Structure 1
């Protein structure tokens, strides 16, 4: 399958998405893929291809700006920091991705989901917290769980799935509990699957820093993807 590149905008910022269309000609559900802190790359494109093989339009969106990339092996705090301190800007950037998806002729704009990895997991959750037309479900994979007040205290409309590594230092048990309380208070239809031996970045085959709480876990990777596939099947 071919990854096609499309430019889109969030205000004055030019962004670029990698899109993979499924077989056929009719409108299909779309699944946005929000990237980890190094930016959109081959991992997100592979996920888009896997989603297209399931019959969805896979869209690897861009949070940082066209041609803005971090260091996969380095510290990319300077790229995600502005969004962590301005969650309204993060939500706006995610909504720009949703609007782009809805603009595509091959997308059924009433059937949009978002999945995200690490920083992207937070992005997906914030999309559910804030809401967006057509978004019916989100998935966070080893994502940050920290809440915000942008959505107020009203019900969360999108269904929520969290695939969490229990040994992830970026989402310690107290944050998991706070997230559960938040979801309950907002009457969300939510699930959290904890992978007991998994650390942060458990879906990334290149993650190999257990001393920092980051490591690939093949079992958690396989099981979490099966869960994602089932969740999307339920949504669509």
Structure 2
């Protein structure tokens, strides 16, 4: 298997965006997994996950939600990039749907078999994509923010939903987990929430090492979550 990557540009609401597709050129059109980035922006980590998706037999697409080449370098910059999208969830959802349309049309992709996943802010993006009611097969949130957007109550969720959550995550306390389950039930979703005890925010990130702020890598939880995610993809994209 030879994995190739190519960069694609697009424009949404005046923003120049740039995504990265990872694929096996010999495989023909493959089911695709969209990867939504953390509050930093689309960086090497998301491209690495896209490549990992291709190695599993899918195509992977690392989506840019901020703008071509835009990355935060510290907490203040990351917050300044993320907060406008958090404050305009309808606008964020429009951008997510735009990427679905772009990726669905790619010749390397089976446009009828699309899934999405994300980390932290990207986990919220994956959930918000499902909340739009778009016809994708499944979405996965890894230590994502869980709060409902407030503009999609009454919308049926068509995709399967899975969330991987650290029970000790201060950014998504237990009442947020319960609220998400209740929200997904009202929307008629096929949903799962995997909560890991003794686990904080960013538990899949080996660089997370600030327990006083609730950020800590947990390799056991990360491995368990990834194994469950692979099973979820196999079921959703079959």
Give the alignment's TM-score, normalised by structure 2.
0.95
Contact kept? 2:21, 2:60, Cα under 8 Å: yes
In the alignment, which of 112, 115, 123 is matched to residue 113 of structure 1? 115
Is 2:218 the partner of 1:217? yes
CA contact (8 A) 1:19 1:58 kept: yes
Aligned residues of 2:168 and 2:199 also touching (Cα < 8 A):
yes
Q: CA deviation at 1:23?
A: 5.1
Question: Does the 8 Å CA contact 1:28/1:106 hold for their aligned counterparts?
Answer: yes
**Aligned counterparts of 1:200 and 1:100: Cα–Cα separation in 2:** 31
1:194-233 alignment, distance < 5 Å: 194-233=195-234
Question: Whole-Å Cα distance in 2 between the matches of residues 55 and 207 of structure 1?
Answer: 29
Contact 2:133 2:156 in 1 (8 A): no
Name the counterpart of 2:175. Answer: 174
Residue 55 (1) aligns with residue 57 (2) = yes
Structure 1 unaligned segments of length 5 or more: list them.
Answer: none
Are the aligned partners of 1:121 and 1:139 in contact in 2 as well (CA < 8 Å)?
Answer: yes
Q: Choose which of 86, 89, 95 in structure 2 pairs with 1:87.
A: 89
Structure 2: distance between partners of 1:150 and 1:158: 18
Give the TM-score taking structure 1 as reference length. 0.96
Per the alignment, residue 100 of structure 1 pairs with 102
Alignment partners' CA distance in 2, 1:54 and 1:11: 33
Aligned equivalent of 1:126, options 101, 125, 128: 128
Structure 1 residue 157 corresponds to structure 2 residue 167: no
Q: Which residue of 2 aligns with 1:190?
A: 191
Comparing 191-200 and 6-15, the one that deviates more: 6-15
Contact 1:98–1:132 under 8 Å retained in 2 = no
User: Helix, strand or coil: the match of 2:161?
Assistant: strand
- 2:132·2:155 contact (CA, 8 Å) conserved in 1? no
Matched, 1:7 2:9: yes
Classify the secondary structure of the residue corresponding to 1:26: coil
Alignment correspondent of 1:29: 31
Secondary structure at 2:150 match in 1: coil
Question: CA separation in 2, counterparts of 1:42 and 1:196?
Answer: 29
**Deviation digits for residues 174-219 of structure 1 (CA, Å, limit 9, x no counterpart):** 1111111111111110000001111100011111100100011100
Q: Residue 129 of structure 1 contacts residue 150 of structure 1 at CA under 8 Å; is this kept in 2?
A: no
Q: Give the distance between the partners of 2:131 and 2:235, measured in 1 at CA.
A: 20
Q: For structure 2, which runs of at least 5 residues remain unmatched after alignment?
A: none
